[in-house]
Amino acid sequence: AQSVTQLDSHVSVSEGTPVLLRCNYSSSYSPSLFWYVQHPNKGLQLLLKYTSAATLVKGINGFEAEFKKSETSFHLTKPSAHMSDAAEYFCVVSPNFGNEKLTFGTGTRLTIIP
C-alpha cells in the first residue's frame, strides 16, 4: 500500500521569499515521486520527478525537491517566489511495479503576496 500526505493545505508567502511545500510518503517499496502543479481551470503539469538517480531533483521554473528516505519526505522548494507560482501543488507517489497507478496528495494551495 502507498500513501502521500501533504502537510499544509494552504501556504502563503511574499513575492521574492522562499517557498517550502511539504510532502511525506508511505510506500512498501522504493517509490517514484512527482510534484505536479495545477493553475486555475487548467490540467496538471509535471514540475519534477524522483526516479532514484539523484536525491536532489531539479524541475521547471526554479523548483527543486529533495528525496529523504530516512524521513520519508519529498519537500518542494523554490528560492524566490514569483506571482505566477500561485497555484495548487500536488505531491504524487507511484509504486515500483509496472502499472501506472498514481496516488495523489490532497494538494497545497500556494498564495503569493505582492
Partner 1 sequence: KAGVTQTPRYLIKTRGQQVTLSCSPISGHRSVSWYQQTPGQGLQFLFEYFSETQRNKGNFPGRFSGRQFSNSRSEMNVSTLELGDSALYLCASSSGTSRYNEQFFGPGTRLTVL
Q: CA torsion, points 66, 69, 29, 6, in degrees to nearest 10? A: -60
Count of beta carbons in the 10 Å neighbourhood of residue 86: 17
Task: Tell me the C-alpha distance between 57 and 52, whole Å.
Answer: 10
Q: Answer for the pair 10, 111: CB distance below 8 angstroms, yes or no.
A: yes
Segment near partner 1 (CB under 8 A); pick from 16-24, 42-50, 62-70, 78-86: 42-50
| Separation of alpha carbons 107 and 10, rounded Å | 8
24/103 with CB nearer partner 1: 103
**What would the x/- binding string for partner 1 be over residues 47 to 86, using CB under 8 A?**
--x-x-----------------------------------
Build a one-symbol-per-residue string for 90-109: x at contacts with partner 1 by CB under 8 A, - elsewhere. x---xxxxxxxxxxxxxx--
Q: Which residues bind partner 1 (CB under 8 A)?
A: 32, 34, 36, 41-46, 49, 51, 90, 94-107
